[in-house]
Structure 1
Amino acid sequence: MVLKDTPGNTLQKFQTLVSEGVTREKLIAFVNSSFSPPGQEFEPWSPSDWKTNPQLLSQIADSNLRSWAAEIHALWKDLGRKVKKVVKDQPEQYSQIYVPNAVIVPGGRFLEFYYWDSYWVINGLLLSEMNNTARGMIENFLYMVDRFGLIPNGGRVYYLRRSQPPFLTLMMDSYMTYQKDMTFLRENIHLLEKEYDFWMNNRTVTVTLGGKSYLLNHYHVPVGGPRPESYSDDYELAETVAPDSQQSLLAELKAAAESGWDFSSRWFSGSVGNSETDNKLNMTRTSSVVPADLNGILCRVEKTLAKFYKELNMPEKESRFQTALTQRLEAVQSVLWDEGLGIWLDYNMDAQRRNTHFYPSNLVPLWATCYSNPEVADRVVSYLEKSGALSYKNGIPTSLTRSGQQWDFPNAWPPLQHMVIEGLAQAKSSRAKDTAFSLAQNWIRTNYKAYTKYKGMFEKYDVEGDGKPGGGGEYEVQVGFGWSNGVALQLLERYKTQLTAGTTLCRSLSWMAIILTIVITFWA
């Protein structure tokens, strides 16, 4: 929503309204007279590099999936946004952060870009051969690192005090796989390092185990107050705790938003033990958790930066990140790896022990290749089998806890499916590869069924439904949807000759069974 008057005048009008006594009708009238409708900060934009038939489409063997992939590819045109120059010239009138290039937004209620969503969006754009659009989005993130010192949670000024999982370096890695533009890398690698330094200077904790200290990362937003985008929800929740705990809780909610998992029992202070009574949103303690996924992501970032600096022939910088990687590998193995369960786990600093509950995030270090023992993949498969997470044919649940939060059971989220599948697929274990394909087949069929039924891609899905969109949390499930499209295209590309939509095959088998039954009956 755009301010129609100056911020000072608008604030003065609001203070006058408050002094006269606010009613619902007066407040609605004030909002309507002071703000323009949402979306006024964007201008019409269509990606110039979109083409009808990218090569991927012709490589998909299943005709139903091929047609579906073409429709997913077409969705990029609907999700494009370009911020008007007036936002740059008059920033005080807008909550939108100006960026120089067009963006692909998630969709639905999300009118602006979001940080970690964009990793899967960019990967999808590259498969759609929209390299210029992908590069433009990366340039936007580099622009924000240069300007703000971090990449905010999303494209609004009220997100500037928190980030999201640090995928910028991995976005660049994806782009370099397709373009090999060493000049672009050389000109911007200092900004990749600057973003990494933000995480190492502002989001670290020291964990001491066995007399040795390890430096790891966590999510932490050092500012209270309700989230502007969910002000009333946070305000009401804070009223359920003691006054001296309210600002701390509000900061923890922002840290959960920084994690991307807003919200989940994973961050509840009672989640480490077996008690369900403490699994309440007002028990959120995100900053006390050393997350397996965040540290896996940063492990891969360190490995990638070392690779980049080697390619750029900058040995001192390469050495810095090789050393950081070595230290990370040791810390992840010592603090987060559970030898008994054969998996990485979040470490809770308050409880001083690991959280043994199942989350797909436990497998992110496998995706990040943040391990030195190649046999670990078989142990991870055994962990998955024993956890019960593989018993759901519509995807891997985000947890096995029914908390009512959207990052819990029964929801399944595209980025988590992708990291689990990719981690297993790239391992040397045949068991892991087989499990990866089975999970990919299940996920593609879930997405395809939902699309054929609802004509849309959803941000999350229900593992107990059959193509049913997910639910729970603070808002209705959204259609679009950026990262869902990107993940689907990535899985279709990896298993292009193997995946099937399932429908035609099932029908064929059903008719064959009927015919065979008739023949057997006749000859009997």
Structure 2
Amino acid sequence: MDLKKGIITALLSVFTGVIFAQTPDFALEVQPNMQRLLLSADTDNDKKITIEDSPKMPFLAATIAGDSIAINEVYYLSNLLQELAQAREKGEDTLKISLSEIKEPPSQRISRRIKNYFWDDLTRTIDKKGLKKILRDTKASGDVQRLYVPPNDTVGLEYFKNLEREYPDFEVVVLPQKITPDYVKSINDEPGLLALKIENGKGVPFVVPGGRFNEMYGWDSYFEGVGLIIDGRVDLAKAMVDNFIYQINHYGKILNANRSYYLTRTQPPFMSSFVREVFEASEEKDTVWLRKALDAAITEYEQVWMEEGERLTENGLNRYFAQGIGIPPETEKGHFEAVLKEYAAKHGLPAAEFEEKYKSEEIEDKDLDEYFRHDRSVRESGHDTSWRLENRAAHLNTVDLNSLLYKYEKDFLYLISEYFGGSFTHSSGKGYSDAYWAEKAEKRKDLMNRYLWDEEKGSFFDYDFQKGEQTGYISATNFYPLWAKMASEEQVQRMVPNLLQDLKARGGILASAKSSAEKTATNEVQRQWDYPYGWAPHQMLLWEGLLNYGYEKEAHELIYRWLWMITKNAADYNGTIPEKYDVVNTTHKVYAEYGNVGTEFDYITTSGFGWMNASYQLGLELLPEEYREKLDKVVRPEALF
């Protein structure tokens, strides 16, 4: 008997309800085989097949011509479960599959699922088609689901008012012309989504991170866009830029996310990079669209980041500075319990009573106001939370923010020079030349070298302008100048050894150094943007940063470490692609604040996590073929470097 057919025959003969043919492709009845597989292999009853199960081995054994054939790999059993589950979700009674699909190499399987399934599952629209997902939104209060719409969006207002008549549990709220912190506080008990762009009677689509993050986030969107472009979804990446343009024009900023309580808060600025990468990946090279997008990006730069006294400080550098009043409403119950108890004791009140009186402004406390100013600014930074920023975020000229704004200035210089003949007239009537942006970038570089660079330590550090000193906190964000191409060759020669010494872990780049987190922490709470955790945006930016300066070997090692960790966890744990990892212990089992989105699912993950998906696709694109082959064998990184 032909060996390949023999294996298939043996495999199929032990399933119940097999619809059998002597070909490499075969069909299985979904429900009975899924039940039998779970009964045999899911020994801990968590609706997954993982290395923590103890399947009966050999599994599905059969005897053909005296030879025993069996499946002994948990990974293959897990793949089969996923394929059966996916068929069941589609309402299919029969699964058509081949042995090669069950034994698909891990990196190929992960990448294929991201491209063919995950992006679509994470795509949303705020329109009639997407309304069902809005109405099921768990972040709404009560029975009414609200959508806040800008008063000058006439198209959106007409569209959503018509939907309001159709759905009794859906309420459209028209925002005031001017959004103030007082107004945002007044609607904290009536939260809702914020409208995005309606075009041709449909909502312009966007990608959400996943899990409880069921809205369009600021910096997540850029990284998701990187992955979309790699996967040939330039259309969807461009649509996300269009929604950013809408946000800038109607809300005055790119929002932390399109939620009512984020109206006074932005996120790390990536608009110029997003615009540039989408435009240059587009076949049509639509300069009319580019003009509109560039106009919005310059508006954001000027109005959000360069207003003196807010996010622009006296020394000419920038900070995160989220506005707002009182306690951030999006946090989980009890998140600020320890802080509020401390201030309640100061006022001689029980904690619950103090909290209510502080919320109603019956009690005023400037120190607590300042604490929450910093806390909101931490959230605006995207790094919520980290001991790097704790109780001082609004006082810091951070390396990451100023690197990103340097990148804006260089992108504006490039786009105006390359596509607009060196001169661009903004919708405000102000003219901008490429020379103007060259001067702005050079000035920022000088200021960063003056305030943020430590010559003795060979690194950039955040600068506390209140104290007039650098923090010395070792973080992945200190190396953003590599990505922005702001550092000199001499600085990079000092920085790269520091990066590899302080932040390289078994699974990639640490969010911060253990020594800095331990030195700065005021209690034993592990902050999720610190040691021992690693995050996709840091990996992606620093890989490209190293490659910008010719450090290919170092970049490839860090890419491999990250992809190895993702691949091994996915292979061992039923395809899990989570929000973040413990890169020291190379596991998705993270016990820091907020848990780990993307780890709770039954049978099969349908979406992974937005920027994690993107990091995998980018890593595979940047990694040489020789490493990709090793990745499919899940060769541990210590054996390679």
2:635 & 2:436 partners in 1: Cα distance? 58
User: In the alignment, does 2:567 pair up with 1:448?
Assistant: yes
Aligned equivalent of 1:486: 614
2:403 & 2:110 partners in 1: Cα distance? 33
User: 1:152 and 1:239, CA in 2 relative to 1: closer, same or farther beyond 3 A?
Assistant: farther
Tell me the number of residue pairs that the alignment of Structure 1 and Structure 2 aligns: 419
Q: Quick check: 1:204–1:218 contact (8 Å CA) kept in 2? A: yes
User: 1:393 and 1:167, CA in 2 relative to 1: closer, same or farther beyond 3 A?
Assistant: same
**1:158-182, Cα deviation, whole Å (9 max, x unpaired):** 1010100011111111102201332
Aligned equivalent of 1:69: 111
Segment of structure 1 superposing worse, 146-155 or 234-243 = 234-243
Q: Quick check: 1:342–1:376 contact (8 Å CA) kept in 2? A: yes
- Map 1:96-495 → 2, pairs under 5 A: 96-100=193-197, 101-179=204-282, 180-197=285-302, 198-201=304-307, 202-207=310-315, 215-230=316-331, 232-233=333-334, 236=337, 237-241=339-343, 243-268=365-390, 284-310=391-417, 311-315=419-423, 316-371=432-487, 373-387=488-502, 389-390=503-504, 392-399=505-512, 400=514, 401=517, 403-428=525-550, 432-454=551-573, 455-479=575-599, 480-495=608-623
Q: Quick check: 1:238–1:249 contact (8 Å CA) kept in 2? A: no
Q: Quick check: 2:581–2:587 contact (8 Å CA) kept in 1? A: yes
Please state how far the C-alpha of 1:71 moved relative to its aligned partner. 1.4
Please state how far the C-alpha of 1:248 moved relative to its aligned partner. 1.5
Aligned equivalent of 1:42: none
**1:250-302, Cα deviation, whole Å (9 max, x unpaired):** 1211110000011100013xxxxxxxxxxxxxxx1211111001100110011
User: 1:248 and 1:234, CA in 2 relative to 1: closer, same or farther beyond 3 A?
Assistant: farther
User: 1:501 and 1:159, CA in 2 relative to 1: closer, same or farther beyond 3 A?
Assistant: farther
Instruction: Output the aligned Cα RMSD.
Output: 2.2
Structure 2 alignment gaps of length 5 or more = 1-103, 132-146, 148-159, 162-170, 174-189, 198-203, 347-364, 424-431, 519-524, 600-607, 637-641
Please state how far the C-alpha of 1:342 moved relative to its aligned partner. 1.2
2:342 & 2:530 partners in 1: Cα distance? 22
1:507 & 1:424 partners in 2: Cα distance? 23
TM-score after normalising by structure 1 = 0.76
Please state how far the C-alpha of 1:188 moved relative to its aligned partner. 2.8
Amino acid at match of 2:125: K
2:421 & 2:311 partners in 1: Cα distance? 29
User: In the alignment, does 2:152 pair up with 1:91?
Assistant: no
Q: Quick check: 2:589–2:596 contact (8 Å CA) kept in 1? A: no
Q: Of Structure 1 and Structure 2, which has the larger fraction of its residues in strand? A: 2
Q: Quick check: 1:449–1:467 contact (8 Å CA) kept in 2? A: no
Please state how far the C-alpha of 1:221 moved relative to its aligned partner. 1.8
Please state how far the C-alpha of 1:156 moved relative to its aligned partner. 0.4
User: In the alignment, does 2:124 pair up with 1:81?
Assistant: yes
1:333 & 1:65 partners in 2: Cα distance? 41
Q: Quick check: 2:510–2:531 contact (8 Å CA) kept in 1? A: yes
Segment of structure 1 superposing worse, 467-476 or 145-154 = 467-476
User: 1:386 and 1:188, CA in 2 relative to 1: closer, same or farther beyond 3 A?
Assistant: closer
Q: Of Structure 1 and Structure 2, which has the larger fraction of its residues in helix? A: 1
Please state how far the C-alpha of 1:437 moved relative to its aligned partner. 0.8
1:493 & 1:117 partners in 2: Cα distance? 20
The percentage of aligned residue pairs carrying the same residue is: 27
Choose 1 or 2 for highest CA Rg: 2
Q: State the 4+ residue runs in structure 1 displaced beyond 6 angstroms.
A: none
Q: Quick check: 1:471–1:477 contact (8 Å CA) kept in 2? A: no
1:470 & 1:324 partners in 2: Cα distance? 42
**1:22-78, Cα deviation, whole Å (9 max, x unpaired):** xxxxxxxxxxxxxxxxxxxxxxxxxxxxxxxxxxxxxxxx95422321012121111
Amino acid at match of 1:132: D
